Amino acid sequence: MDISEQYKDLTTKINENLPLRAFPVRELVQIFRKKEHPITLKTELTITSVHNSGDISGIMCTVELVDGYKMACALTHLIFSRTVTLYSEIADYQKKRERRIKQLNLTELN
């Protein structure tokens, strides 16, 4: 299965299991804070929708705070509990995606 098929397949599975709960990575916490929404690494976010944006941006999520504020972010910017139904598939995607981004960045530097 090629990358575009993997992204499409995982996007479909996540959509079928929404809403999902996740926690932000440090970078996402900083972005929320800049937008005047002071969250922490322990703030639970609710994923309300996902979109496969292809190889350029990967799988994008709309996350929502309890106050109703919404923001789009990459699936790689979220941390999931091991109890989430799709945990292993999401974690596998995140590892592969991060490796792929590093490879693409190294290619651009050369």
15-63 tens-digit pLDDT:
999 999 999 999 999 999 999 999 999 999 999 999 999 888 899 999 9
Residue 73 has pLDDT above 70, yes or no: yes
**CA end-to-end distance (rounded Å), the chain:** 29
Domain ranges of the chain: 3-109
Residue 107 has pLDDT above 90, yes or no: no
Question: 22 is written with which tokens?
Answer: 């996740």
More confidently predicted of 103 and 77? 77
pTM over 0.85, yes/no = yes
**Residue 92 pLDDT:** 95
Average pLDDT over the chain, rounded to an integer:
93
Rounded Cα gap, residues 37 and 22, in angstroms: 17
**Residue 55 pLDDT:** 81
The answer to whether residues 89 and 9 touch, using CB atoms and an 8 Å cutoff, is no
Residue 103 has pLDDT above 90, yes or no: no
Where do the H-state alpha helices sit in 17-86? 26-34, 54-57
